[in-house]
Chains A and B, each alone.
Chain A
């Protein structure tokens, strides 16, 4: 029987493995929107990795990192998509 800490550690490993397909999309995606969507997914999964790591290490400030990572990933996605759409940002 595994403990809760070991389960969290295994979850971290699984999430890092889950990052690989989207990294492939970011590097070799055939079009630019593919890369934007994949980098958005990478940002979400990275935020989850930070959240789980913060909980495992019992450090509240790493949870702030997760929050900021998801916010910045969202804003970056919207800005790049809007630039691709209209040719200007504001």
Chain B
């Protein structure tokens, strides 16, 4: 039994460390990437996996208890809602006229959906 408990502890710490690394990278991406759309890439993907890693670590340690079931519920909720909020923010940003960043090479969404044109290169 000691071996199984040790393996579970090691697995839990592994998922916790992976989750924390991805959470920090998501926040770093929020700081470093150039415009709203690219920042949404960082928050919707990387921060979601970080949150899932932390919750998976809690689930492994708690097992089938009320605590574990609630952590499972939070995990499912975050997995379902993170893409939706990213989609809403992206659409609202485009319609309210936030410009795409400078390196953008393609915009097929079209000027008729928002107040902006295809972005001009600045010298």
Check A-B contact in the complex, CB < 8 A.
Answer: yes
B117 contact set on A, CB distance < 8 A: none
CB distance from B74 to the nearest CB of A (A): 5
CB of A33 within 8 A of CB of B85, answer: no
CB of B39 within 8 A of CB of A37, answer: yes
- Give the size range of B's interface with the partner: 35 or more
Complex CA gap A20/B30 in Å reads 11
Interface SS, A side: helix
Residue among A4, A25, A41, A84 with max Cβ neighbours from chain B (10 Å): A41
Q: Contact residues of B with A, CB < 8 Å?
A: 9, 12-13, 16, 20, 23-24, 26-28, 30-31, 36, 39-40, 43, 47-48, 50-51, 54-55, 58, 61-62, 66-67, 70-71, 73-74, 77-78, 81-82, 84-86, 88-89, 91-93, 95-96, 98
